[in-house]
Structure 1
Amino acid sequence: MLTSYADGIPTPRRYGAILTIILSISIAVLDGAIANVALPTIARELQASPAASIWVVNAYQLSIIMTLLSFASLGDIYGYRRVYQCGLALFSLMSLACALSDSLWMLIGARILQGLGAAAVMSINTALIRIIYPQSKLGRGIALNTLVVAVSTAAGPTIAAAILSVASWQWLFAVNVPIGAVALFLGHRFLPANNQKNGGQQFNIFSALMNALTFGLLLLGLGGFAQGVDVGWVLLDLILALLALGIYVRHQLNQPWPLLPVDLLKLPLFSLSIGTSICSFSAQMLAMVSLPFYLQTVLGRDEVATGLLLTPWPLATMLFAMLAGRLIGRVNGGLLGAVGLSFFALGLFSLAWLPAAPDDGQIIWRMMLCGAGFGLFQSPNNHIIITAAPRHRSGGASGMLSTARLFGQTLGAALVAMMFNLFGDTGTHAALLLAGGFAAAAALVSALRISQRNQAG
């Protein structure tokens, strides 16, 4: 069926559609981190250097963030269902190509194309949720999506370790193929269509190129800084990124349908929510990347114990994301976000000031506080972002939501490297203090939204 629905789709079709979203977004998000654990093995078997093997991860991340907004625009023009299904098919096919790769460069090429498919899926998944759920239940739908993204992000290394304990690294990618095939079948049957064009909107190739150049240069600069590249080259890269950004934004201001949604960023509620998202995901990544070093090198925990001590964070996020989903519409989203981020900041600061020899319980309750605060904030924030945009601009809003998440995570990871470079053995302590500062700033920004009106209605 290709019928469009004004206010959600009926059950049980809705269940099939949301299962499609869950399966596809899970494998797309998981693949952002799942290969990290296997990089030494991949480098050894493909006879590559460790530095070159890092591109197995970087190529995927760069491909996604350089094209997210372009695919969001294509979704607004040609329909979310069509772009989503094409992206899912490409992702699944390239997952098979990754599994069959017999050289590093073949694997990197497949990862670039796999990233394009993931970008199509990530860019418009929340836009699809907006047409899958009726308005009265949209908060629950976005909470479920938030839950899936959060758990997939946190569970990547654990799932990778489980697969590698019984199979070769190729299976990290091969497992996506049957899951992707099931999601494609379900999507063909259950995903709703929105095939109408938006008043003559056309895809702007120059905008897409400038978008890719801006985000590509920016992430390469941040990644180079994290890997200890000469400061001069990093500064040159970042200067070029800022020049590209200036040209890009200037061009977008003159477009009736901007790829970078400057029209949406003019809405205070939308722009404040995007800023809050970037700060919160930077804080999350600062903590999640630095904490394993502290747990293993300072406290002497092994890999298994480290994984178990980190697990309360995503578990608490799961529970409180669903709770927040039920509170959406009943409690002001800006207030929910401010309260959640305050708890998140408190948890991060408490982790920074752990006693010298903490027991497991002292670590676990702090992890739970961080996860609870993050879960309480994220669902309402995502709901605000997607509903602050007019319905026909859902693709642009969805693309910005994913872009803010990925940019915040990339920034956070680069800042961890800076903390370790500056502070050495106390780098984790510094990273957690910085993370707490980001979360506290995000709480203040979220509080500014309490009095803001949703202009999209």
Structure 2
Amino acid sequence: MAAILLGIALTVLDSTLLNLALPDITRHFGAEAHSAVWVVNAYQLATLGLLLPCAKLGERVGYRRVYLVGLAVFTVASLGCVLAPSLGLLAAARAVQGLGSAGMMAVNAALVRLTYPTAVLGRGLALNSVVVATSSVAGPSVAALVLSVASWPWLFLIQIPLGAALMWIGRRALPSSPPRLGGPPLRPTEVALNIAMFSLVFLGADAFGARHGGVAEGGTLAAALGLMAAGALVGWIYVRGQLRQPAPLFPVDLLRIPVFALSMCTSVTAFAAQTLAFIALPFLLLQGQGRSHLAAGLIITAWPAGVVVMAPVAGRLLSHYAAGMLGGIGQGVLAVGLLWLALLPAHPADWQMIVPLLVCGAGFGLFQSPNNHTIVTSAPLQRAGAASGMLGTARLTGQTGGAVILGLIFSVAGVQGGGPAIALGLAAALAAASASFSFLRLRAV
């Protein structure tokens, strides 16, 4: 579990680590701001497009092998990022890092399933949830700490000894799974269609957010819609072909299982709500309420603190209560906390922000472990890799959707106006929808 948890922390942290360093990277290479964004986008695109292929590869050759190879690729690519002589090569190295991250994230939950006995699997997934939740919000804080004493290449340099230590632990401790070399092959055309579908939708969503939110330069509404439409067309062709496969790369066979499909809907809407809130809160605290960066960071820490407290409790409650019930209650609590934040006065006291943020974190912690448990265990054991890959896919899809929605809200209501409060209110609505999907699982069992 040390190898599994450290690996997921490394990959999730890396996905948010560079946002704070982008201005420094832009100045270092003398590049335009919109070009520097590709240092982040290249990593996200590679991870999202290759999660499911890596998951299927794990089913064929063993989850341990895919995890360790992904870790090796990630670590070597970190050195490539340090030595990159140009912005283009830095973005290319980040894409290779994304490939390594996909290898680790795709089989993470499958390795947890092999590590824990079925009776206490919920506890293992609860630990996973705690690490994902805390790592996802710790990135900017870690980056700020490093950049206060060193230059941006150190953000990658510190990953090299961590990756090497993790490789040493993983080779000795990670469980093995028997390979299924006689199973359906990993077809290059399927992989290409999978990458194209996710890439086109991601690029369209990114351009749409830039067009409406003013987040980045360039991009038009027509181009954004065209990219998303092209992604939908590629996805239609791709999924139609997958329907005929016995163990498809895009797991339509698992999506035919009602509990699995509802769990995916629960996850996507939950992470969209979380992302809406996480991105809107700094604008609310810094620009709307005039707080310092230190004060804002300490206040926002209440959310992951709530997750850390509640997630282990949720893992134990799984042996007594249905996952659909726990997830629905958790998302209902999250919706209450988000609505509470949206309705606060213009200049609340610190405790008035901290208490609803703790409520949000507790609700999310109560939801995440049971939901992940259902996704992993509702799939047959031989398809544990596909289920594990869909965990990461749902999270990244929800986060991308939440960012796009926020860009649209800010374009209409403004950043310093009522935009953040509207975003928090819409996040509450998404959390309520997630609760509904979760409760529906009680009838689907």
TM-score range, shorter chain: over 0.9
**Equivalences for residues 38-49 of structure 1 within 5 A:** 38-49=21-32
Aligned equivalent of 1:317: 307
Q: What amino acid does structure 1 have at the position aligned with 2:334?
A: F
Whether contact under 8 Å (2:61, 2:181) holds in the other structure is no
CA displacement at 1:199 relative to structure 2? 5.0
Q: Is the 8 A contact 2:288 2:346 kept in 1?
A: no
2:401 to 371, 387, 411: 411
SS at match of 2:344: coil
Quote the residue 1:259 is aligned against: 249
Tell me the distance in 2 between the aligned counterparts of 1:446 and 1:92. 38
AA matched with 2:372: N
Aligned pair 1:22/2:12, yes or no? Answer: no
Could you tell me which runs of 5 or more consecutive residues in structure 1 were left unpaired when the two chains were aligned. Answer: 1-17
CA distance in 1, matches of 2:304, 2:284: 19
Which structure 2 residue ranges, 5 or more long, are not aligned?
A: 212-218
Superposed, which structure 2 residues align to 1:229-268 within 5 Å?
Answer: 229-268=219-258
- TM-score normalised per structure 1: 0.94
Q: 2:159 aligned with 1:176, yes or no?
A: yes
Counterparts of 1:287 and 1:198, CA distance in 2 = 44
Q: Residue type matched to 1:136 in 2?
A: A
Question: What CA distance in whole angstroms lies between the structure 2 residues aligned with 1:122 and 1:53?
Answer: 25
Cα 1:198–1:333 change in 2 (3 A) is farther
Q: Would you say 1:440 and 2:423 are equivalent positions?
A: no
Number of equivalences? 436
Separation in 2, partners of 1:200, 1:379: 31
1:190-218 Cα shifts (integer Å, max 9, x gaps): 11111330653211221111110000000
Tell me how far apart the structure 2 counterparts of residues 101 and 356 of structure 1 sit (CA, whole Å): 46
* Counterpart-to-counterpart distance in 2, 1:349 and 1:417: 20
C-alpha separation between the residues in 2 aligned to 1:56 and 1:128?
Answer: 30
Find the aligned partners of 2:187 and 2:126 in 1 and give their Cα distance: 33
Amino acid at match of 1:117: G
Any conservation in 1 of the 2:110–2:388 contact (CA below 8 Å)? yes
Equivalent position SS for 1:329: coil
Letter of the 1:71 counterpart: C
Contact kept, 8 Å, 1:221 with 1:234, in 2: the verdict is yes
Alignment check: 8 A CA contact 1:23 1:180 kept: no
2:412 matched residue in structure 1:
422
Show CA shifts across 1:13-41 (max 9, x none).
xxxxx111111111111010000000000
Alignment of 1:289-368 (within 5 A): 289-368=279-358
CA distance in 1, matches of 2:174, 2:157: 25
List per-residue Cα deviations over 1:256-287 (Å, max 9, x = no partner): 11001000000000000000000000000000
Partner amino acid for 2:329? V
Deviation at 1:102, TM superposition (A): 2.4
Cα distance in 2 between the residues matched to 1:287 and 1:435:
6
Q: What is the match of residue 374 of structure 2?
A: 384
RMSD: 0.9
The CA distance in 2 between the partners of 1:351 and 1:140, in whole Å, is 30
Q: Does structure 2 conserve the Cα–Cα contact (< 8 Å) formed by 1:312 and 1:364?
A: yes
Letter in 1 for 2:269: C
Amino acid at match of 2:151: S
Distance 2:202 2:422 in 1: 23
* Greater Cα shift, 219-228 or 425-434: 425-434
- What amino acid sits opposite 1:267 in the alignment? I
The 8 Å contact of residues 281 and 409 in structure 1, kept in 2 or not, is answered as yes
Equivalent residue for 1:226, pick from 188, 203, 209: 209
* Distance in 2 between residues matched to 1:82 and 1:199, nearest whole Å: 17
* Residues 208 and 225 in structure 2, CA contact (< 8 A), matched pair in contact too: no
Contact residue 198 and residue 392 of structure 1 kept, 8 A: no
Deviations 1:38-92 (Å, cap 9, x if unpaired)?
A: 0000100111111111111111001100110000000011100011100000000
Q: Tell me, in whole angstroms, the C-alpha distance in 2 between the residues paired with 1:284 and 1:23.
A: 23
Q: Distance in 2 between matches of 1:283 and 1:269?
A: 21
Q: Which amino acid aligns with 2:406?
A: V
What CA distance in whole angstroms lies between the structure 1 residues aligned with 2:440 and 2:182? 34
**Alpha-carbon distance in 2 for matches of 1:161, 1:431:** 26
Q: What is the letter of the counterpart of residue 114 of structure 2?
A: I
Partner of 1:5: none
Hey, what's the Cα distance between the residues in 2 that align with 1:36 and 1:390?
A: 38
Distance, in Å, in 1 between the alignment partners of 2:187 and 2:324 is: 34
Q: Aligned partners of 1:200 and 1:97: how far apart in 2? A: 35
Matched AA of 1:395: G
**Greater alpha carbon shift after TM alignment, 340-349 vs 92-101:** 92-101
Give the residue type in structure 2 aligned to 1:385.
I
Per-residue deviation at 1:189?
0.6
Which runs of structure 1 show a deviation greater than 3 angstroms over 4 or more consecutive aligned residues?
none
2:196 to 206, 210, 213: 213
* Counterparts of 1:193 and 1:254, CA distance in 2: 30
In 1, the alpha carbon distance for the partners of 2:319 and 2:31 equals 53
CA distance in 2, matches of 1:355, 1:190: 52
**AA paired with 1:327?**
L
Q: Deviations over 1:108-151 (max 9, x none)?
A: 01000000000000011000110011111111100001111111
Report the Cα distance in structure 1 between the residues aligned to 2:95 and 2:179, rounded to whole angstroms: 30
2:199 is equivalent to residue 193 of structure 1? no
Q: Is the Cα contact below 8 Å between 1:348 and 1:366 reproduced in 2? A: yes
Q: Cα deviations across residues 273-331 of structure 1 (Å, max 9, x unaligned)?
A: 00000000000000000110111111101111110110000011111111101111211
Q: Which amino acid aligns with 1:159?
A: V
